[in-house]
Amino acid sequence: MSQQTFILNGKSITVDVHDDVRVLWVLRDLLGVTGPKYGCGINVCKACTSHINGRAFNPCSVRVGDLAPTTR
């Protein structure tokens, strides 16, 4: 596993997780952020829609390793 660091709700967060884990599972299962809902898991239903850098994205379709490193 590797450490992944990103900004979540204005705070720098670091988690130990494999690069290929989807952001949705990191948010819900590791960090307890339950706002993004699990729907289809294949980027179709949009139930998990969240914002990153001011733009909407679906965390079920993004690997945590693909997030840009934090600059804070």
Domain that holds residue 48: 2-66
How many domains does the chain fold into? 1
Give the whole-angstrom CA distance, residue 23 versus residue 64: 5
What amino acid is encoded at 58 in this protein? Answer: N
Give the whole-angstrom CA distance, residue 30 versus residue 53: 21
pLDDT tens readout for residues 1-59: 889 988 888 888 899 999 999 999 999 999 999 999 999 989 999 999 998 877 899 99
Q: Is residue 52 a part of any domain in this protein?
A: yes
Q: Is residue 28 a part of any domain in this protein?
A: yes
Residues present in the chain in total: 72
User: What pLDDT score does 53 carry?
Assistant: 74
Q: Is the pLDDT of residue 71 over 60?
A: no
Q: Which residues contact 15 (CB under 8 A, 6 or more apart)?
A: 3, 4, 26, 30, 31, 64
pLDDT tens readout for residues 52-68: 877 899 999 999 999 87
Give the whole-angstrom CA distance, residue 72 versus residue 70: 6
Q: Is residue 72 a part of any domain in this protein?
A: no
Q: What is the CATH number of the domain that holds 17?
A: 3.10.20.30
